[in-house]
Structure 1
Amino acid sequence: MRCSLTTFVTLSLAVASLARPALSPYNVHEKRSAIPAGWSHTRRHESAATIPLRIALKQNNLEFIDEYLHDVSHPKSSNYGKHWSAGEIARKFSPSEESISTVRDWLVENGLASERIRVSSTKGWINVDVTVEEAERLMNTEYNVYTHVSGQEHVACEAYHLPEQISAHVDFVLPSVSFDTKLKRRSGSPSEPAHSLGQPGVGITPKTTGTISQLVTELEQCDEYITPICLRALYGLVYEPVSTDINSYGIVEYTPQAYLQSDLQMFAMNYSTDLIGKEPVMVSIDGGYAQTEYQGFDYNGESDLDLQYGMTLVTGKQNVTLYQTGDMVEGASFNNFLDAIDGSYCTFEGGDDYSVDSEYPDPYGGGYEGPEDCGTVTPAYVISTSYGYNEADLTPFYAERQCAEYAKLGLMGVTILYSSGDDGVAGNGDYCLNPDGTQTANGTIFNPTFPGVCPYVTSVGATMVKPGASVLDAQPEMACMEVIYSGGGFSNYFTMPSYQKTAVDYYLENYPPNYPASIWNSTGMSRALPDIAANGANYVVAVDGEFELVYGTSCSSPVSGAIFTMINDARLAAGKSPIGFINPTIYSTDFAGAFNDITEGSNPGCGTEGYNATVGWDPVTGLGTLNFPVLLEKWLALP
């Protein structure tokens, strides 16, 4: 296993790994502990049936990716800011010939004729059509057929095993334990895959308490209504960009979520006059477009919020790129977006998993039938995303592959921000984990979000102005406890990164959560989130021609991204590199005092009060909110 990514940390009550069979050189490679809701076991698969076995090969040098990223991201490194090119990334992590030959030889030794074995043109996959009996013998497993309540069938196994020497070269095998299969869509409706981001109610979504009756523009009302002037006062964001021709800020949206230009202009006329007549630079990925067929808060609230505040805070001088991802039929996943901004990711570790990720051209017809966008888009220096899954929605190997891509983007100088979630220590939809790994509303085990738990992204939690407080007060904010609760906690997949250890160790030693180890990852060795926070309550947003009050970490991420974009502007103007992957820097002693520490509030969930905001880092608001003048000074002092 890859020590920097996949030395997985497990809850003390998690189902124990399957034991190694007696006298067998095989080890468990992947396993799943439960059948997802809506599916049931139907029968053993017929032994003579044929299945297309796809073996995803591990990439070269991934065991050093943490070291490479630290070298260009830590403020004490002599190579700070010396980011890599896309070509250097592709060459460094291409699959090795040793992996190809080792896996192929193993297949031949187990009775598969060499002419049956095919290596993909990208060298990321080894494909072979086998009988179920052959697959079960190869991987010491049993294949079953499962049926969804809709009648759709799916082939999977509970676990599979590989020899130790083969496991070192294999990331995952399909079909196997993955159960994130996309359900066949119904005609006449937008995309309905199980993990199609952008669908109403899927993943992290902003919340609203409805329309407001009067416009507000005064600082004195920021405890009830957040507008751009409140955020500038809270975080000291007074800055006019000067490097707009070479700087960039990207905001990602997933169809059918889409902004309305009329809403952007309505907001501009009242709160951001320099945006009058302006619109984001839209880049279509896999057929994405700003659809208007479906409207309402569930379809326009997220995008309207992200763009109105993201664009306002970087001012009308700075173009903002809207990455509109996925068509109206198939939709999209994070992987579809990542394919577009990094061509090497299209085939990285075997490429996408079409039981989770959308496939283009649309294999069913009716959707986007152009080629899959692969390396067609230049990534912005800062990219904000206000969407997310629950970590438990995905297999560890799927999450690991994507997490490694964020490390690659960090090597290229890209800052990646994700919302930490809106349900406190619970997962999206207020779902918590059960001992068998399932997620239900009455679960009791804390359920962190993804990609926020990936060590190579910056996870953003939510704060709010204290009731009755003024944004001009010394400490006007607390953890958000109105309508939503800041997502935070500890990963069950990823180990604690070195940059975070001192801060998290201090929290666990001085403010240990008073919960049994059976409901949270109390090992002290796992990735903790969030990293930072920003206001996430009472935002005034123009949605479908009316102003509404909006809440969520969906607010916090684009606001933070705008602040980092302005810091990049100043560094670029000084002839320096963009800030890139910021976590090693913001957790370093060099940046002590650069954040507004949040010490009040908590993040309830799973039948508990969650964690408490405390002095220093905490799993509610991270290091705190951004102090732009101090951060700017400190980053300008770096090479």
Structure 2
Amino acid sequence: MLPMLSFALAALAATVSVLANPIAAANIPRVVHEKRDAIPSGWKRSRKHLPTAFIPLRIGLTQSNLDKLEEFLYEVSDPVSSSYGKHWDTAKVAHTFAPSEETVDRVRAWLADSGFETVRIHVTPANTWVEVNATVEEAEQLLATEYYVFEHTTGYEHVACDEYYIPEELSTHIDFITPTIHFNAVVRTPSHGLTPRDSFNATPGWVNNTAPWFNATFPHWNTTAPPLRSNGTNLGHPGVGLFPKPGGPISNHYADLQNCDQQITPDCLRALYGIIYKPLVPHKNSFGIVEYTPQAYRQSDLDIFFDQYAPNIKHRQPELVSIDGGFAQTSYEGFYFNGESDLDLQYGMALTDRQKVTLYQVGDMYLGASFNNFLDAIDGSYCTYDGGDDPSVDAPYPDQWYAGGYTGPKSCGVAPPAHVISTSYAYNEVELSQKYTARQCAEYAKLGLMGVTVLYSSGDYGVAGNNNLCINDQGSESYDGTTFNPTFPSGCPYVTSVGATQINPGAKVTDPESACEQVIYSGGGFSNHFPRPSYQQKAVENYLTNYPPPYPSNVWNSDNARAFPDLSANGANYAVAVDDAFISVYGTSASTPVVGAILTLVNDARLAVGKSPIGFINPTIYSKFFHGAFNDITSGGNQGCGTPGFQAVPGWDPVTGLGTPNFPEMLVRWLTLP
């Protein structure tokens, strides 16, 4: 049975004798705060790090009231609650979860008692991170550990330790510390020949030698990746393996609904899910789609698509909000630069008609960006107060690494969150530390408190992770691994995960769909980081009791784990205009913005009668009140890791979730809620 990894690692009691020197007190009772069990695939320990080198220690302080976060969220999200729909504002969220003064004072005192001068200790705004530039020798004494330089098979390097210790009395005050055990990104094949700034070696680095920069041109599929920093981490473009998958070119466009099994269009989706609705108050509503540079849309592609399938909005553009230098780049074109954004926007805009769609374009062309960079921009409390970034995975802006990079101020609380936010990217959960995913997951809960619906694609490789990687006996990823590999953030209980279905070949648009088994397999399974939330307990227990998976417990996490996806929608044979031509496209990258568009229309109807947006929907859609609001999917599977995967069955299943939207039924139910 896979161990359930909770929001914080269990403390392991130990006493460590610290070497006597001016910055360390001797024989302080300490506990292991984080420990890594295995070196990730492709990495090896190269050498001991130089004791005189500097590393930027960042100590994340434990937030207040996190034990009540779920309770607060359910109060505004559970349809039986008297506070349903009474969402919080940003100021209330920030105040409620800010670390206590005691936490700040204790950590500051620990550093001072260990010999760090006051001028070297920096506490971030609202007292949530403590930062200190320490030599390797100082950091090793402080944390009772040893720092090594790890080398990847590609030649890139990363600095980390295997475990670290903190005073036992601080274990409840410190969330996690970086850089320590984390290998928070997977190195991909080098991408382009962008030149780092001449001042690169003067910036704070974790490896003293010059990083091996590359001279290749921007590659295409299977080699698209962001540049690497000197520490060897891949900073941007989360979920490289979750791009939509292309099919063949489309020569004939069908004007009726007779061929939806071969070609999905907006009209096919309207027929499948009963979407007959024109926005009433689009000026009060908002729908956001997130893209990560260099993924970018082409306006000419939108025009071609709208001319064919939505002529009433031809020439309409999304409202682009630039985050950390993000822009709709035109230097590189092709499906793997334009396919994702073209798909998301064409269907998101066509299905919501006159509704304004906000495009959150994140990251410059050089460093890229992570989910945390986006979250910083839409929630100033996360950026300023929670300090969610981890420098080992999140891009540090302003861009000091590359000539031509974004040098403006870090995007912090500059973009109000839309009521519904759709993201078609994902990490593999195993690539991220438990504490990192826990901190980010808590932010999604806070967005739910503020009335935001957050959607993420569940993945395109069935029970395997992005790029068809599974977990092996060493706990790392490989193609021959046999343990299921869940994606993140789908495993976070505070997002809504979206899987994929298909119209079976030869079937009518009125026939039942099945789980998608063309080109892609709907991602689904059970998290290794997060426990099962109460809202889905009954639905998942029904599945496990009546349709138990035929796999041993060491292949999937059977220990009361968060299960996903929550919903699904068609993800096969989409007609998409890319680079001035129509092609067929597959993926949960398609189903996610479709569900986002449908929920946006629900919000419009509620806002038109003076009600609040639907916010975090999971407690509602799993409730008895929503029985019959979805089209149950009962056939198909999501193979991966050398297995047939899970199977779609009556009721909830880890392939298609609760099923696909039945818009009229959903609309009626949500309109009757307060």
TM-score, normalised to structure 2, is: 0.89
CA distance in 2, matches of 1:449, 1:325: 21
Cα deviation 1:527-566 (Å, max 9, x = unaligned):
1000000000010111111110100000100000000000
Match of 1:162 among 166, 174, 184: 166
Mapping of residues 144-543 of structure 1, within 5 Å: 144-149=148-153, 151-180=155-184, 186=214, 191-193=226-228, 194-198=233-237, 202-315=240-353, 317-366=354-403, 367-473=405-511, 476-523=512-559, 525-543=560-578
Give the corresponding residue for 2:621: 586
Q: CA RMSD in A?
A: 2.2
- Specify the SS of the correspondent of 1:507: helix
The change in CA–CA distance for 1:373 and 1:221 in structure 2 (over 3 A counts) is same
The change in CA–CA distance for 1:287 and 1:116 in structure 2 (over 3 A counts) is closer
State the 1:36 CA deviation: 2.9
Match of 2:665 among 613, 616, 630: 630
State the 1:461 CA deviation: 0.2
State the 1:365 CA deviation: 3.7
- Structure 2 letter corresponding to 1:627: N
CA distance in 1, matches of 2:151, 2:505: 51
Does residue 63 (structure 1) correspond to residue 67 (structure 2)? The answer is yes
Aligned length: 624
CA distance in 1, matches of 2:471, 2:382: 31
State the 1:318 CA deviation: 1.0
CA distance in 1, matches of 2:506, 2:91: 54
Deviates more, 1:353-362 or 1:108-117: 108-117
Cα deviation 1:122-165 (Å, max 9, x = unaligned):
42222234444443343232222223445444321011122332
The change in CA–CA distance for 1:472 and 1:50 in structure 2 (over 3 A counts) is closer
CA distance in 1, matches of 2:84, 2:465: 36
Does residue 556 (structure 1) correspond to residue 583 (structure 2)? The answer is no
Give the corresponding residue for 2:20: none
Match of 2:605 among 564, 570, 577: 570
Whether the aligned pair in 1 keeps the contact of 2:11 and 2:33 (CA below 8 Å) is no
Cα deviation 1:386-435 (Å, max 9, x = unaligned):
11111111111111111111111101100000000000000000000012
State the 1:277 CA deviation: 2.0
Structure 2: 5+ residue stretches without partners: 17-27, 191-210, 219-225
- Specify the SS of the correspondent of 2:47: strand
State the 1:175 CA deviation: 1.6
CA distance in 2, matches of 1:620, 1:587: 16
Structure 1: 5+ residue stretches without partners: 10-16
CA distance in 1, matches of 2:621, 2:494: 13
CA distance in 1, matches of 2:299, 2:115: 61
- Specify the SS of the correspondent of 2:358: strand
The change in CA–CA distance for 1:63 and 1:39 in structure 2 (over 3 A counts) is same
State the 1:18 CA deviation: 9.6
- Structure 1 letter corresponding to 2:383: C
Whether the aligned pair in 2 keeps the contact of 1:8 and 1:493 (CA below 8 Å) is no
Deviates more, 1:151-160 or 1:78-87: 151-160
Give the corresponding residue for 1:30: 34
- Structure 2 letter corresponding to 1:556: S
- Structure 2 letter corresponding to 1:215: H
State the 1:7 CA deviation: 4.3
- Structure 1 letter corresponding to 2:31: N
State the 1:63 CA deviation: 1.7
Whether the aligned pair in 2 keeps the contact of 1:124 and 1:351 (CA below 8 Å) is no
Give the corresponding residue for 2:223: none
CA distance in 2, matches of 1:233, 1:36: 46
Whether the aligned pair in 2 keeps the contact of 1:528 and 1:619 (CA below 8 Å) is yes
Whether the aligned pair in 2 keeps the contact of 1:57 and 1:350 (CA below 8 Å) is no
- Specify the SS of the correspondent of 1:579: coil
Whether the aligned pair in 2 keeps the contact of 1:197 and 1:203 (CA below 8 Å) is no
Does residue 39 (structure 1) correspond to residue 76 (structure 2)? The answer is no
State the 1:356 CA deviation: 0.7
CA distance in 2, matches of 1:94, 1:279: 39
Give the corresponding residue for 1:13: none
CA distance in 2, matches of 1:51, 1:8: 24
CA distance in 2, matches of 1:251, 1:398: 24
- Structure 1 letter corresponding to 2:525: G
Give the corresponding residue for 1:12: none
- Specify the SS of the correspondent of 2:258: helix
CA distance in 2, matches of 1:53, 1:507: 45
The change in CA–CA distance for 1:404 and 1:266 in structure 2 (over 3 A counts) is same
- Specify the SS of the correspondent of 2:606: helix
The change in CA–CA distance for 1:376 and 1:154 in structure 2 (over 3 A counts) is same
State the 1:43 CA deviation: 2.1
CA distance in 2, matches of 1:609, 1:273: 42
- Specify the SS of the correspondent of 1:577: coil
- Structure 2 letter corresponding to 1:180: N
CA distance in 2, matches of 1:514, 1:397: 31
TM-score, normalised to structure 1, is: 0.93
Mapping of residues 102-141 of structure 1, within 5 Å: 102-112=106-116, 114=118, 116-141=120-145
Deviates more, 1:599-608 or 1:164-173: 164-173
Match of 2:647 among 612, 617, 625: 612
CA distance in 2, matches of 1:277, 1:216: 22
State the 1:82 CA deviation: 0.3
CA distance in 2, matches of 1:276, 1:128: 53
Cα deviation 1:249-296 (Å, max 9, x = unaligned):
111111111111111111111111112121111111111111111111
State the 1:113 CA deviation: 5.2
- Structure 1 letter corresponding to 2:671: L
- Specify the SS of the correspondent of 1:75: coil
- Specify the SS of the correspondent of 1:442: coil
Deviates more, 1:25-34 or 1:390-399: 25-34
CA distance in 1, matches of 2:350, 2:387: 40
Deviates more, 1:476-485 or 1:144-153: 144-153
CA distance in 2, matches of 1:189, 1:89: 45
Deviates more, 1:21-30 or 1:389-398: 21-30
Cα deviation 1:164-212 (Å, max 9, x = unaligned):
321111111122011236886536756424545548x813110011202
